[in-house]
Amino acid sequence: MQIDLGGKVALVTGSTRGIGRAIAETLAGAGARVAIVGRDLSRAETAAAEIGHGAKGFACDVSDTAQVSQLVADVEASFGTLDILVNNAGLTKDNVIMRLKDDDWNMVIDANLRGAFASIRAASRGMMKRRSGRIINISSVVGVIGNRGQANYAASKAGLIGLTKSVAKELASRNILCNAVAPGFIATDMTAALGPEQKKALESQIPLERLGNAADVASAVAFLASDHAAYITGQVLVVDGGMVM
């Protein structure tokens, strides 16, 4: 089975590093022209130049809905269309519930959940006109099972699942498919802070006995973006080595 995204345009938020970067590389490798999005323009442009295949860099803080609307307009103007939207940008600001500050709650919800809402709202207009589109939201297994010390992050990732299913139902008649990918523990900057003991403890909970890598998540996204997934919408594809089942 070959994934061919030739002629497609993809926008991947938070794609200068980590999982987003791997998604951008995989979609570009399958033939898509990719908008690389980071908060810092020069970093996004550098990543786009490294990825090649017609990728271009854009700056956007996804927690600012006005910036997100402008981003979608700029990407559509620059590439002429937008076929695949991947909401990957995300962050954590962990604390136990008693100590969780309003600012840390808001920062995580605004970037992880409101940012995705804003980009879907902006991108769906063109996708509806073209009667075609793929939206893929990067959630987390933490949004499915919760996690101590991550109430804000878990709420944002669970919110993304509700958003995904609602958008899938609302836009299916226009041939716009919306799915979520829920990674387990993936080796990136986000998990680099884990000590060897913590890493070992995590691996012992994973049937495949290893952390995932960014490419494992990127393959799932590329599949959902492709014609092979034409009859799949409103689903949560868990990519976690079997940890949550």
Residues in contact with ligand NAD by CB under 6 A are 13-14, 16-20, 38-39, 60-63, 88-91, 111, 138, 140, 183, 185-186, 188-191
Q: Closest CB to ligand NAD among 43 and 125? A: 43
Query: Could you tell me the strand order of the sheet in which 133-138 lies?
Result: 56-59, 33-38, 9-13, 84-87, 133-138, 176-183, 236-239
Q: Closest CB to ligand NAD among 88 and 179? A: 88
- Cβ at position 166, least distance to ligand NAD in Å: 19
Considering only CA atoms, which of 7, 4, 60 is closest in space to residue 34?
Answer: 7
Q: Closest CB to ligand NAD among 63 and 124? A: 63
- Cβ at position 101, least distance to ligand NAD in Å: 17
- Cα distance between residue 105 and residue 134, in whole Å: 29
Q: Closest CB to ligand NAD among 159 and 183? A: 183
Considering only CA atoms, which of 14, 12, 18 is closest in space to residue 39?
Answer: 14
Q: Closest CB to ligand NAD among 79 and 185? A: 185
For tokens 């709202």, the residue is 121
- Cα distance between residue 112 and residue 24, in whole Å: 18
The token pair at 134 is 């793929």
- Cβ at position 36, least distance to ligand NAD in Å: 10
231 is catalytic: no
- Cβ at position 4, least distance to ligand NAD in Å: 25
In angstroms, what CA-CA distances link 223 with 1, 179, 220? 10, 11, 5
For tokens 């101590």, the residue is 148
For tokens 């000590």, the residue is 195
The token pair at 58 is 């854009």
- Cβ at position 239, least distance to ligand NAD in Å: 9
From the candidates 58, 79, 105, 153, which is the catalytic residue? 153
Active-site residue list: 153
